[in-house]
Amino acid sequence: MAKITVKNDDVSFEVPDGSALKNSLQTNSSLMFGCGQGKCGICICSLTRGAENIAPKTQDEINLLSKRNANPNQRLGCQLRVIKGEVGIEY
């Protein structure tokens, strides 16, 4: 099981290794979501730790984050998939 911590909401929760995080983030945090498909950018968040435990960016994520001049540690919450281990998120 992977452990996800959302700093803004001061919550931690576990998900199975390999899980997409969108549903868990919607349930366990107040991170806002829009389209859920990596196209709107409402769910931009920052990885504060464990970036190596998150799957690489999707092409949609790369395209949108590039348009937004995002920092390298910023990701789209709707596109996050945890591989294993601990991950910290801030939005």
Residue 47 near residue 88, CB atoms below 8 Å: yes
Domain residue spans of the chain: 2-90
∠ CA 87-7-70 to the nearest 5 degrees?
75
Render pLDDT for 1-20 as a digit per residue (tens, 0 to 9).
999 999 999 999 999 999 99
- The whole-number pLDDT of residue 23 equals 97
Render pLDDT for 5-58 as a digit per residue (tens, 0 to 9).
999 999 999 999 999 999 999 999 999 999 999 999 999 999 999 999 999 999
- The whole-number pLDDT of residue 59 equals 93
SS3 content of the chain, % helix, strand, coil (to 5): 25, 30, 45
Mean pLDDT across the stretch 64-84? 97
Between 22 and 60, whose confidence is greater? Answer: 22
- The CATH class given to the 2-90 domain equals alpha beta
